[in-house]
Structure 1
Amino acid sequence: MIGLWDTTGNEVVKALAAERRSAGGVASGMALTLIVVVDEAHVREAEAAVTIASAAHPCRMVVVVRSDIERDRNRLDAEIVVGGRLGPGEAVVTRMFGRLALHAESVVMPLLVPDVPVVTWWHSAPPSEIANDFLGVVADRRITDSAQAPDPVEALRQRARDYAPGDTDLAWTRITPWRTLVAGAFDTTEGNQVTSATVVAPHTDPTAALMIGWLKARLGLNPQWQHTSEFPRMRSVELRCANGDEMVLSREDSQATFRRTGQADRKLPLVRRPLGDELAEELRRLDPDQIYADALGAAAGISDLDSRPSQRVHIWKDPSKQPSSAAAQGVATA
């Protein structure tokens, strides 16, 4: 590892090139550049997740930690790790202070691997409009996590209002096992039409909102959301068929139980995956996820999200010129 304190962007680029040469040119196998925008408190958590994801998707990780934008003096600290504790790829962890934090692209852009896709992941609250952050505009794929917001369901609605093809959310990734098991239940419906559906989950659970949106988009239903405070996350999905059959998929810890009228109960795996596995799933595809767009639009009541332009135009906003409450949010998310 190389540590550079109170340095410049040029020095970071030179140090990375030197470390690559000494490590044998790791970048030749890079599949993408992953930009991680994170606050200081969650840097280690983000690094652990990328270490898992990079085992399947060799990448150059550029971590951006923005701090204290009102500091009078700009400062850049950086750590460079090639083929070390952060996986087989390359990692540059940058900590930016002062007004430099509002122009992180000036440091990040020279660090992008040429001719490979760029993915930006906010392991923190993203800007309400991704176009306000150049690190989002430059990316081919943009990964957010509405579960980290104070109001996760409203954050998901904002993601729909601000959606552009290439966006995704880890709340969507977390229901992949649910969607797989629910879709598998239709292998034995024998043509019986599903007439209604109910999702049992806390009212603040964004995964439940997306599950409802997915069922609505796929089946043309208006599923009910049965709120519960007994469980911290989505508890069950219930489907009712035209012939009177009921299918219920319910979770108990790391196991699901599938019940259907007239059939014996079945136990199925439903393990909550580590954050790194969720991130790795999203890095498998770099094209727009139309199924996610349909589910998000149905959940938010907004149609034709996938028909929007995929390219964003950067709209820079200075948090220091916003009202104080907005400035506080901008410090964390700009």
Structure 2
Amino acid sequence: MIGLWDTTGNEVVKALAAERRSAGGVASGMALTLIVVVDEKRVREAEAAATIAAAAHPCRLLVVVRADVERERNRLDAEIVVGGRLGPCEAVVTRMYGRLALHAESVVMPLLVPDVPVVTWWHGEPAAEIATDFLGVVADRRITDTAQAADPIEALRQRARDYAPGDTDLAWTRITPWRTLVAGAFDTTDARVTEARVVAPPTDPTAALMCGWLGSRLGITPRWEPSDASPRMREVQLSCANGEVLSLTREDSLATFRRTGQDDRQLPLVRRPLGDELAEELRRLDADQVYAEALGAVAGISGLDERPAQRVHVWKDPATAKRAEAGVTAHAGTSATP
């Protein structure tokens, strides 16, 4: 590992090139560039997940930690790891302080691997508008996690309002095993589904997306039955026109599949590590139309996949907004003075 403290972007580029030459074959064959936007307290967690994903998708990992944007003096610290503790990838962990944190692209852009896709992952509460972050605008794929928002269901609706082809969310990734098992139940029947019921906590974004997926695929309005008995989605039940009822109920890491007239079956349904969820999203680098339709069904917005894929950067300076807010407060205080 190479540590550079109070350095410059140019020095980081030079140090990475030198470390790549030293590593030799370990640093070849990059499939993509993965940009991770994360807070300092969750860096190790993000690194652990990216290490698992990099084992399946060799990449250049660029971790961006922004801090103290109001600091008067700009500072850039960086760690460079090639083929070390973060697995078979090239990794640059950058910590940006002061106004530099608002222009992270000035450091990140020269570090992108040429001619390969760029994926940006926000490991934390998703931004309200991705276009205000240039690291999202430059990416071919953008991964958020609405489960980390204060209000996950409203965050999903915001993701729909702000959607552009190439966006996805880890709440969607987490229902892949559910969707696989539910879809597999129809390999032996073509019965039409007339009703659907989802049992889950009232703030579970995976349940919302499951309802959206069932609604967009089957042309029905699923019923969400709130339940606090489990912290995660517990059951999906489908009623068919021929009288059959199919249900999938999770208990810990197993699911019980029930079907009218058949014996119950036990199926694996485990909660995967964050790194496995990330690796799944890195398998596809095109727009996910099925996710767009499910998300649109959640928010009641159609045609999400028909929007332009290219985002246009919208500059947003939090310091300006804060000064404006302070000015309004001061004006109100002056007006209230007798």
- TM-score of the pair, normalised by structure 1: 0.96
- Which residue number in structure 2 is paired with residue 265 of structure 1? 264
Q: Distance in 2 between the 1:201 and 1:268 partners? A: 19
CA 82–325 in structure 1, closer or farther in 2 if over 3 Å, else same? farther
- What SS class does the counterpart of residue 266 from structure 2 fall into? strand
- Which residue number in structure 1 is paired with residue 332 of structure 2? none
- Which residue number in structure 1 is paired with residue 53 of structure 2? 53
1:4 matched to 2:1: no
| Contact 2:27–2:82 under 8 Å retained in 1 | no
1:294-333 correspondence to structure 2 within 5 Å: 294-323=293-322
**Offset at 1:63?**
0.2
Unaligned runs of 5+ in 2: 327-338
- Which residue number in structure 2 is paired with residue 236 of structure 1? 235
- Which residue number in structure 1 is paired with residue 40 of structure 2? 40
**Offset at 1:323?**
4.3
CA 116–303 in structure 1, closer or farther in 2 if over 3 Å, else same? same
Q: Distance in 1 between the 2:248 and 2:323 partners? A: 46
| Contact 2:146–2:171 under 8 Å retained in 1 | yes
1:264-303 correspondence to structure 2 within 5 Å: 264-303=263-302
Q: Distance in 1 between the 2:325 and 2:38 partners? A: 18
Deviations 1:78-110 (A, max 9, x none): 000000000111000000011100000000000
- What SS class does the counterpart of residue 185 from structure 2 fall into? helix
Q: Distance in 1 between the 2:126 and 2:56 partners? A: 25
- Which residue number in structure 2 is paired with residue 199 of structure 1? 198
| Contact 1:52–1:276 under 8 Å retained in 2 | yes
Q: Percent identity?
A: 81
- Which residue number in structure 1 is paired with residue 137 of structure 2? 137
Q: What is the total number of aligned residue pairs between the two structures? A: 326
1:18 matched to 2:18: yes
- Which residue number in structure 2 is paired with residue 332 of structure 1? none
**Offset at 1:25?**
5.4
1:179 matched to 2:153: no
Q: Distance in 1 between the 2:18 and 2:97 partners? A: 25
| Contact 1:319–1:326 under 8 Å retained in 2 | no
Compare CA radii of gyration and give the structure with the larger one. 2
- Which residue number in structure 2 is paired with residue 160 of structure 1? 160
**Offset at 1:28?**
3.1
- Which residue number in structure 2 is paired with residue 71 of structure 1? 71
| Contact 1:213–1:298 under 8 Å retained in 2 | yes
- Which residue number in structure 2 is paired with residue 95 of structure 1? 95
- What SS class does the counterpart of residue 88 from structure 2 fall into? coil
- What SS class does the counterpart of residue 267 from structure 2 fall into? strand
| Contact 1:26–1:82 under 8 Å retained in 2 | yes
**Offset at 1:186?**
0.9
Q: Distance in 1 between the 2:304 and 2:221 partners? A: 19
What one-letter code is carried by the residue in structure 1 that aligns with 2:120? T
206-215 or 124-133: bigger deviation: 124-133
- What SS class does the counterpart of residue 310 from structure 2 fall into? coil
| Contact 2:27–2:83 under 8 Å retained in 1 | no
Q: Distance in 2 between the 1:305 and 1:101 partners? A: 31
Q: Distance in 2 between the 1:325 and 1:201 partners? A: 42
**Offset at 1:18?**
0.5
- What SS class does the counterpart of residue 257 from structure 2 fall into? strand
Deviations 1:229-260 (A, max 9, x none): 11101000000011221111010000000011
- Which residue number in structure 2 is paired with residue 248 of structure 1? 247
| Contact 2:71–2:97 under 8 Å retained in 1 | yes
What one-letter code is carried by the residue in structure 2 that aligns with 1:198? R
Q: Distance in 1 between the 2:178 and 2:43 partners? A: 29
CA 129–325 in structure 1, closer or farther in 2 if over 3 Å, else same? farther
What one-letter code is carried by the residue in structure 2 that aligns with 1:281? E
What one-letter code is carried by the residue in structure 2 that aligns with 1:280? A
Q: Distance in 2 between the 1:93 and 1:44 partners? A: 11
- Which residue number in structure 2 is paired with residue 170 of structure 1? 170
Q: Distance in 2 between the 1:324 and 1:54 partners? A: 42
Q: Distance in 2 between the 1:321 and 1:27 partners? A: 42
- TM-score of the pair, normalised by structure 2: 0.94
Q: Distance in 1 between the 2:219 and 2:322 partners? A: 43
| Contact 1:27–1:113 under 8 Å retained in 2 | no
Q: Distance in 1 between the 2:232 and 2:153 partners? A: 13
